Structure 1
Amino acid sequence: MFDFVRRHNRLLQLGLVIVIFPSFVAFGIQGYQSFNESNLAVAHVDGQPITQAEWDAAHRDQAERMRANMPNVDAKLLDSPMVRQQVLEQLVRERVMFAAARDLRLDPTDQRLQRLFRSDPNFESLRNPDGSVRAELLSMRGMTSAQFAQQLKQDVAMRQVMLGLGASVPASTAVTTRALDPYFQQREIQVATFPVQDQRAKVQVSDAELKAFYDDEKNAARFQSRETVSFEYVVLDVASAAQSVTLAADDVRKFYDENVSRYETPQERNARHILVKIDSSASADDKAKARAKAEGLLQQIKADRKAFAELARKQSDDPGSAAQGGDLSWISRGAMVKPFEDAVYGLGKGELSGIVESEFGLHIVEVLDIRGGDRRSFESVRGEIEAEVRQQLAQKRYAELAEQFTDLVEQEDNLQAVATKLKLTILKADKFGRGDPASTPLLGNPKLIETLFDPQTLASKRNSAPIELGGNQLAAVHVTEHAPSRRQTMEELGDRLRQLVIDQKAAAAAVAAGKAALESWKQQPAGAALGAAMTVSRFEPRGQTQAVLTAVMRAATDTLPAWVGVDLGQGGYAIARINKVLGADPAVMEPQRAALQYAQLWTQAETAAYYKALRKQFKAEVTAPAAAASSVAR
């Protein structure tokens, strides 16, 4: 690869970081050791502080990544105490891993990094055809080569701290089977149920009982009415802005002429080459010998063009292409160093270059084939250009209208002025409550709901402030009626109150009947009115509720049959008799898969325990609560 590793070791590290370690929160050794003494420490690891500024920066990076993946995510979620605390814990974990890697001397060698780059298929997109790394990725990350080099070594070292645990095999298949058998176990049971509905007809309710149930504070939440609002709202989005957009024919043609390259198929060239390597430190004599060798190879190829592939296999110093007879496959512009690219794109199909010099050495290049470079006509792309230009103009118009929208909404007491001025439709919703099913995506938007029930919105009797709903969409609401939540009277509750009391008494009667039957059947099993025997497991409930299944699988089975009673609340009561305990169902617990799952669970437990020990060893301590983080997500 043109002596890639020695010359471009730092660029190699960029590739590793981007492809293998995208989740790593970079901080670098200098960042780890250099702290602002005046900045507040929010945590300590190994005697070194994590500062508020570092926490804020990591939080900001995390918020930006989440926004990139979820453009409509609520900013308040990104700035929540939970997210902040997770970011701080991740910083602490990285510092602990760094300290452990340093103590264990786990820095990877350059040779290991070279092997990673040459063997890992993940690097294919990072390698240029001539073996170099795409240098533009450096500027995309905004970091220097030295910073990437140090970051890579640090990250690989930290990951090695836990590597041994993740690769360990905790137990044999026999041990794994014994450990998992209780979880996959099957049990033969018979069940009887005492439904609540069988008791309802027997229940009598007095007025005194109704009053006592109503007055019991434990039931107060059941009698609260829904808080609702009736409101008007208007929405400004790109679609509404597009209605006022006029598209001129000249605009479409101008767009085509200015972006004609977009409608061309990028030209690619299938080329092969032979490299005679020249080190940057080579003497003048060595450079002359290399050039003489290249000239000799060029003369041989000119004499017999068919000899190119064989000469490349034997004489080329590029290990990435020599074995293929120098073939670099299809390559496009921007994928190679400039002298090499100029040579490739300066040749026609079947043409051979002279000696081409690049930073890697001397090349002999032959273009085998050319494809692409065709251009679509204006008429064939006119429709899609019109749609794109119209969308761009609508976006621009939306930005202009958004300012007018904001001014009109904030200045007026109702929505009529903004609707008239911007030609928007006033929409209405009646008796809308929190948690109601949303008839449109807009009415399910958390920001809009939060604004609707904001005390200021409810009290002002004016338009709300403009609500940014994401995706170039603004809304404003005007509440016309507010019905606060309140405790309903007994008269308003009517039959509903009576039914609640009946349900409560019927459930209690079902439980009492079930418990009485359970005690009786334990004494006289022959009289038990149980259902047919069935075999159940955690993976095959056979129609049993989760409550019954859980009770059955947890019950002690030292003595069989074993009896279980289960209070199902408003579902009544269930009695289960466990007749047999059977082994794991082989169709569910496949031995090899079970062993793998067990190993994963074991590894997770050991990893968590080891990390806990490392935290203690390096005195990791968080001194600030999540709420102390700066609000950087907004």
Structure 2
Amino acid sequence: MLQQIRDRTSGLIAGFIVALIAIPFAFFGIESLAPGGGDPVVAEVGDQKIHESQLQRQYEQRYQQLVQLLGENFRADMFDQRRLRAAVLRDMTQETMLRQYTEDQGFFADDATLFNVISAEAAFQRDGQFDAQAYRDALQRAGFTVDRYENQLRDNIEMNQMREAIVDTAFTAPVELAQAARLQAQERTLQYAVFEPARYRDRVSVTDDQVQAHYQQNKAQYMAPERLKLAYVELVYDKLPPPDPPSADVLKVLYEAEKAGRFTTPEERKARHILIGFGADKDAARQKAEDLAKKIESGADFAALAREHSEDPGSKASGGDLGWVRRGQMVSGFEDALFGLAPGKTSAPVETEFGWHIIRLDEIKPAAVRPFEDAEVQQELTELFTNRERQQRFQEMSEQLEQLAFEHPGALEPVAQALELKVQTTDWFERGKGSGIAADPRVVEAAFSEEVLALGENSKPLNLGGNRIVVIRKAEHEPPRQKSLEEVAEQIRAELVDRAARELIEQESQEVLNAVRGGTDFQEIIRAKNGELRNPGKIRRDNTRVEAAVVDAAFRLPHPQDGKPSVGEAQLGNGGRAVLLLSAVETPDDATLDEVQQRRLRDLIAGAQFGAYMKHIEQKVGVEIRARPDEPTETLEP
């Protein structure tokens, strides 16, 4: 499929495979939307169902991306797994919904559009030009097949067409710009008092009887969760010892097998072309190409004509230069014409699915074979032999690992001894809060399965990616238990002190508000209470020296009336409160927005419009979220 795209050369520089999905909610491909009947449905989008196995697979992919992104800084307890599952399901439902809608509405990405995106990607190029082998290699490293990548890319180009139809038509009227400029430049004169929990904790005392009473009333809050310690053996490709060095005879046999593909540089031809697209009139396009060919035959400069007339965006600016081209990189008609030319000669117009081409051959680089005796060839052959031997050894050991783990379900020592591996042990970990292999969701799922936890057997081999396989078994297990009062007394005392401090803060901040509204001087009442007075003076919406919650609250207060200030409060992130006194508001009439601010305003308007359109699409397509049997409904809502 799309052979013309895989085999053609041209392009500008764009993004890589992550940029394959150009809208933020379309991050995962959704394939095989019809698994077996034992797989519960978690969402239904239009005429398609999303099953639990698909959600779990995409969840694991997202989780592993987080693990790889954070590296050594990753901790499993950094993420609420239910929220992450909900986010993954939301992405999946939105992508499925948009895919159905764009198809229904007739959005379409043709092969030429797809080719322009693919050929422009730097990761698919060699020496600045698209290379079919580089394309296939890059996709293989990223875990994509060519068909899957191209299908998903086409889908997302079409979804972007729909998105851009909304976002790119958003505009701001002059009156909106003027109003936004005045609001952005508005200044508010502010005083405020902060009531911090730390100032109140010393005023609070909690008795042992209060601690015990709270413990008795809330025992369920002080349970030690189930935890587990695992024993495991791990087979890692990169840790396998290298094989014995190969003999010269072995290398010679390997060289002969690989010579044609690996050590032979095929003939290359340096070429230029002028592309005339078919447009609405194929015959007229051919006539234009023939006229240009006649001008070239009469001595006109090929590069100048290419810069003026060519419709290939990847080579037009460079005078049609395609660089060095090998067989198998171009569509067949183009390639046949190019490899039939002599150096310095120009072809008659050649038809391909992209249009009419006029091709000129500038230079030929003959095929060359690197000899067996070459030092770099010897090194490549040795590395190739080593990698193949290690891969074969890894495959054999993987099969042995599976067999031995099955034959000895009650112990890992026989497995480790037979494969010369080491039985390792994890630290204690709770479900979803492990480190090392215990942070991997596949390991966690297996660890808490009936097979491992209840029956005490070895797990099946778990492929953790990157040629890494583990077999786990239960080493130690603690079921959930009630923590004793002695274990949690200090924790409860701190909770009660903090709660009492917050209650005092709420009481005093309310007293301050009431007093100021009753006419008491703001600074006077603050001195009488336990607040900290702050006087930033005039602030704008972009102020970064004042707490964000205070700035937000200050710009929500009504304007002072009849010389009386406005008062209000803000809840601070540390549990404290702030009482605000707004004495003046100044709004300039001549304020303007710079280009960045105008663009941000347009982006906000466009985002709001697209969000509303998404709601319309959801209603039109129909999205139903279903809960898993073992999770509350709200954890799966998008």
Q: Is residue 574 of structure 2 the alignment partner of residue 554 of structure 1?
A: no
Match for residue 382 of structure 1? 378
Match for residue 429 of structure 2? 432
Q: 1:484 to 1:543 in 2, by over 3 A?
A: farther
- Find the partner of 1:468 among 455, 459, 463: 463
* 1:354–1:364 contact (8 Å) kept in structure 2: yes
* 2:177–2:593 contact (8 Å) kept in structure 1: no
Q: 1:369 to 1:82 in 2, by over 3 A?
A: same
Match for residue 400 of structure 1? 396
Q: CA deviation at 1:419?
A: 1.2
Q: Is residue 584 of structure 2 the alignment partner of residue 580 of structure 1?
A: yes
Q: Render the CA deviation track for 1:574-607: whole Å, top value 9, x for unaligned.
A: 32322333559999x9432222222233233334
* 1:231–1:481 contact (8 Å) kept in structure 2: yes
CA distance in 1, matches of 2:590, 2:390: 62
Q: Render the CA deviation track for 1:130-173: whole Å, top value 9, x for unaligned.
A: xxx99xx99x9769xxx99xx99x99999777765433353334
Match for residue 190 of structure 1? 191
CA distance in 2, matches of 1:586, 1:198: 45
* 2:274–2:310 contact (8 Å) kept in structure 1: no
CA distance in 2, matches of 1:356, 1:490: 92
CA distance in 1, matches of 2:572, 2:67: 41
Q: Which has the larger Rg?
A: 1
Q: Is residue 520 of structure 2 the alignment partner of residue 524 of structure 1?
A: yes
Q: How many residues align?
A: 538
Amino acid at match of 1:270: K
Match for residue 286 of structure 1? none
Q: CA deviation at 1:96?
A: 4.1
For 1:479-558, list aligned pairs within 5 A: 479-522=474-517, 523-525=519-521, 526-527=523-524, 528-529=526-527, 530-537=533-540, 539-544=542-547, 546-558=548-560
* 1:511–1:567 contact (8 Å) kept in structure 2: no
- Find the partner of 1:564 among 561, 568, 572: 568
Q: CA deviation at 1:423?
A: 0.8
Match for residue 280 of structure 1? none
Match for residue 231 of structure 1? 230
Match for residue 591 of structure 1? 594
Q: CA deviation at 1:422?
A: 0.7
Match for residue 249 of structure 1? 247
* 1:185–1:537 contact (8 Å) kept in structure 2: yes
CA distance in 1, matches of 2:185, 2:224: 46
CA distance in 1, matches of 2:183, 2:427: 55
- RMSD of aligned C-alpha atoms? 5.9
* 2:409–2:458 contact (8 Å) kept in structure 1: yes
Q: 1:249 to 1:344 in 2, by over 3 A?
A: farther
CA distance in 1, matches of 2:320, 2:490: 88
For 1:255-404, list aligned pairs within 5 A: 255-260=254-259, 261-263=261-263, 267-271=267-271, 329-336=323-330, 341=335, 351=343, 367-368=362-363, 370=365, 373=368, 375=370, 378-404=374-400
Q: Render the CA deviation track for 1:365-407: whole Å, top value 9, x for unaligned.
A: 6544648857476322434443343222222211211122122
Amino acid at match of 1:243: P
- Find the partner of 2:605 among 602, 615, 619: 602
Q: 1:51 to 1:162 in 2, by over 3 A?
A: closer
* 2:270–2:363 contact (8 Å) kept in structure 1: yes
Name the % identity.
22
* 1:419–1:426 contact (8 Å) kept in structure 2: yes
SS in 2 for 1:461: coil
Q: CA deviation at 1:329?
A: 4.9
Q: Render the CA deviation track for 1:26-60: whole Å, top value 9, x for unaligned.
A: xxxxxxxxxxxxxx9x9797xxxx366xx78xx79
Q: 1:380 to 1:202 in 2, by over 3 A?
A: same
* 2:270–2:322 contact (8 Å) kept in structure 1: yes
SS in 2 for 1:531: strand
CA distance in 2, matches of 1:195, 1:322: 66
* 2:569–2:579 contact (8 Å) kept in structure 1: yes
CA distance in 2, matches of 1:322, 1:437: 56
Match for residue 416 of structure 1? 413
Q: TM-score if structure 2 supplies the norm length?
A: 0.64
Q: Is residue 176 of structure 2 the alignment partner of residue 175 of structure 1?
A: yes
CA distance in 2, matches of 1:476, 1:550: 53
* 1:272–1:368 contact (8 Å) kept in structure 2: no
Amino acid at match of 1:386: T
* 1:184–1:585 contact (8 Å) kept in structure 2: no
Amino acid at match of 1:594: Q
Q: CA deviation at 1:487?
A: 2.4
Amino acid at match of 1:207: D
Q: CA deviation at 1:610?
A: 4.7
Q: CA deviation at 1:213?
A: 1.6
Q: CA deviation at 1:209?
A: 1.6
CA distance in 1, matches of 2:572, 2:515: 20
Match for residue 130 of structure 1? none
Q: CA deviation at 1:341?
A: 4.9
Question: Which stretches in structure 2 are left out of the alignment for 5+ residues?
Answer: 27-40, 69-80, 126-130, 137-144, 276-289, 528-532, 630-638
CA distance in 2, matches of 1:199, 1:249: 80
Q: Render the CA deviation track for 1:161-192: whole Å, top value 9, x for unaligned.
A: 77654333533344134247557755332232
Match for residue 472 of structure 2? 477
Amino acid at match of 2:244: T
Q: Is residue 213 of structure 2 the alignment partner of residue 212 of structure 1?
A: yes
Amino acid at match of 1:557: H
Amino acid at match of 1:490: L
SS in 1 for 2:269: strand
Q: TM-score if structure 1 supplies the norm length?
A: 0.65
